[in-house]
Structure 1
Amino acid sequence: MSIHLMLVAAYLPADVVTQSQKLALMKIGDSADDETRLSKPGMKRVRAWVGVGEKRCTTIVTELVAKGLIERVEVGMLGRRAVYKVFPLGVPAIPSNDDLDTRFQAADAAPKNPRLARPGVARAAPSKPAMTHEDIDARADLDAMSLAAGEGVKQSGFPRGNPDQTQPRVPPGEPQGLPQGNPKRSPRGTPSFPSSTAFLPSPPTPAADAAGEPRGCPKHATPAASCRGCKTNPRAERAARDRERAEAERQSQRDFMENWHADLAEARQVAHDRPQDVEAARRLARQAARAAREAPGGARSPEK
């Protein structure tokens, strides 16, 4: 157990390791030897310290190896723990109070979200902490006076609100090349691109009036070439025709099977009611087959 290596890992800055990586490194350093800096923490112990799954724990250890904070001496196997060497490039020093003050001052001066920070804008000094309720009331009165004077509420932190109107971000007017105004059936808001052409009227063919062709969907006040609600678009019409054709084929097959079963049942009923007729028909069939075999050119005809 090495308390020194664990403390060194605990004081690493945030730009070097993340919280999960720091916890994993602290556990590996806690299980290391002071002289050799070799550690056998075990995956279960590291997972318990970090509080993640097995795959995520393996990924964190690999990230520490990539950063040069640890290195694998022996790979873990079933029944044998992996061996790591902590800080193979050298053990950093534990920072002093002055080093920590410098680090925290730089972190406090930096923006919380660099992507949203405006260049060239310095952060305002933090407000003086309120000691009593009178300080809070005085601050609220000052904000009310600023609002009445039209100055706005000045608070600490990043500047809020829109910039001055003298320097607008978006140039006035509509951009060139885009449709002017609102298209048909638009929400009457900002100018946008034209919506779907499904509501546009269907242009008739040159001979539509003479041939009496329908002009789109007749169920609407404004005829449309495609109507999903009325199923008048070409794709829906083709699908409907295909369904009707398939249903007609299935119905014809069902009719054929029903007729076939009816004929078969009728033949069985005749055989059951009149067995003498069935026997006579069989006798006639045997005689016809015998005559066919004995006829010239039949199966039993003498060879020429």
Structure 2
Amino acid sequence: MSIHLMVVAAYLPEDVVTQSQKLAMMKICDSADDETRLSKPGLRRLRAWVGVGEKRCMTIVTELVAKGLIERVETGKAGRRAVYRVFPLGVPPIPSNDDLDARFKEADAAPKNPRKARTGVTRAAPSKPAMTHEDIDARALAAGEGVKEAGFHGWNPDEGEGRVPPVEPTGLHRWNPLGSTGGTPSFPSSSSVLPFPPTPAAGAAGEPGGCPRHPVPAASCRACGTNPRAARVARERERAETDRQTEQDWLRGWQAELDEARRVMQERPEDVEAARLLARQLARQGREKARYGDPPEKNESCPLHECS
């Protein structure tokens, strides 16, 4: 670990390295030796410092090599880290406060976009920030923005025509109509003869009165599940439960057959081996039949067909 080299890398100017390159350079310097300036940072640690991907990390290292800040001594391989030499052309000195002030002044004076810089134009210094509302009023008074006097006025502004007329509107009557109770008006009652209107599914199912199980229309029959919509939901739930039970029964039967086959294999391994040999023999005969065709029929009088 070299603190001196890492501090030198931290003070590299921004016109030389970017932020990502500076972080990578600081990590390489942190892992370097003070005398030999050889460093083995490792790709995993280097990615953690810079906060980029593997390909971008290798690109940043290549950019540092192109700028002459590091050089590759040994390339990395599987199980072996790459070796770099930090500052092969010489270690730059740590800048002093005067050097930093000069660097910052030059950076502040430089245009943000050199392609759109206005040459020969002296920019005005920024004004002092306003500290109180009196500073803002004084600037408005100096700029002539219609302010007659600085500070808050001590009276209400001149009143013009008000938003609400001073008299009562003529559209409202001044007395209660005949037959009025004089109380607070209310909304008209519902036009439905039922305590609550029927459900939307009742009319679609041909039941204008709602649930047929209630002789008197109830406020809501969804709680007991007697309306057509709840009945349809119940039938769909029963159908789904039946399908699920059928699948479970089939799986149990298949599992029972599989357990029985395993039990037979464990109790009578010789029968299993005989069946396996028979299957192989039948498969071999099938392949020979497909390749050579059916064998010729046996002729008893032919001496060449004495054996079967």
TM-score (norm 1): 0.46
TM-score (norm 2): 0.45
Larger radius of gyration: 2
